Amino acid sequence: MQWEQNIKKFFVFLLMLTVIGCAKKYEVKPAEEPKASEAKPSEDKKERLKEVSEEKILQKPAEIQREITEEELSGKGQKAKESAAQQAKEGFVFKDIHFDFDKYDIKEDARPALDSAAAWLKNNKGVKIIIEGHCDERGTNEYNLALGEKRANAARDYLTTSGIASEKIKTISYGEEKPLCAEQTEDCFQRNRRANFAAGK
């Protein structure tokens, strides 16, 4: 039993890790149509998962603890485990979407990422997500919190318009408090002006 639990935790871990990385693109694999021929030996997969897990644990211990709940380790966890395994084959990516300076409208180049997210969420009806809105450091802190909120809301509204139930999406703004990079360059500012996806509860 203990052994089974551990394996289960592993898979849940992987899913959570992949879904929460707020800085990085993460791979979430779609649930539909796994191709048996592409499946790797389970031992290999386990080893690979382990590495990923440990690496990320070093980076973000707090978030990992937060994301794994009792609930997910039980019934829901089983489901998550399955989809994590299946998704491995298709390599679907939840990408950050980016915004123009002082703006919160969805740009043309953000649509493919949102469309993919919407498609994936439609096929994974049990999954809840959090959309986090962020800003670059040049605004004032309080206004940036409001701006980040509008960015997260804009991403949410795009998904709900695409048919995703609004109850499945929570939004939160972090303003300029959680930057991906700290350089004073336009490239870095652009990376920080984003909305990203995290696992919901």
Partner 1 sequence: MKRQLKVKSLKLKIFILLCSPFTVHRLLFTVVLLLTLNSLLLTLSYGKIYIDITSPALRKLPVSLTFSGSKEAEVIAGIVKNDLDFTGIFYPLEPGVKGAEITVDINLNVSDNLLTANVSVVDLIENREILRKKYEAGESIIRTLSHSISNNIYKVITGQDGVFRTRIAYLTDTSGKKELHLMDFDGSSDQKIVVKGLTFSHNWSPNGEYLAYSSERDTEWNIYIINLKNYNETVLFSSKGLNLVGGFSPDDTIAFSSSKDNSPEIYVMNADGSGSKKLTKSLGIDVSPVFSPDGSKIAFVSDRGGSPQIYIMNADGSSVRRLTFEGNYNTSPVWSPDGKEIAHVGRKNMNNQIFVIKLSTLEISQLTEKGNNESPSFSPDGMFIAFDSDRDGTKGVWIMRAGGTGERKLTLNGVKAMSPKWSPYLK
| Three state DSSP letters for 54-121 | HHHHHHCHHHHHHHCCHHHHCHHHHHHHHHHHHHCCCCCEECCEECCCCCCCCCHHHHHHHHHHHHHH
> Which residue of 47, 51, 100, 102 would you call a contact of partner 1, by CB under 8 A?
102
By the rule CB under 8 A, 143 interacts with partner 1: yes
Q: What angle do CA 86, 128, 33 make, to 5 degrees?
A: 20
By the rule CB under 8 A, 140 interacts with partner 1: yes
Measured from the CB atom, the residue of 73 and 145 that comes closer to partner 1 is 145
Query: Which stretch, 25-33, 69-77, 112-120, 134-142, contacts partner 1 (CB under 8 A)?
Result: 134-142
Nearest to 137 by CA among 194, 192, 195: 192
Measured from the CB atom, the residue of 87 and 144 that comes closer to partner 1 is 144
Kindly identify the residues of this chain, within the stretch 145-174, that bind partner 1 according to CB under 8 A.
Answer: 145-147, 149-150, 153, 170-174
Measured from the CB atom, the residue of 34 and 175 that comes closer to partner 1 is 175
β pairing state of 93-94 and 169-175: unpaired
What is the contact surface with partner 1 in residues (CB under 8 A)?
A: 102, 130, 138-143, 145-147, 149-150, 153, 170-174, 177-178
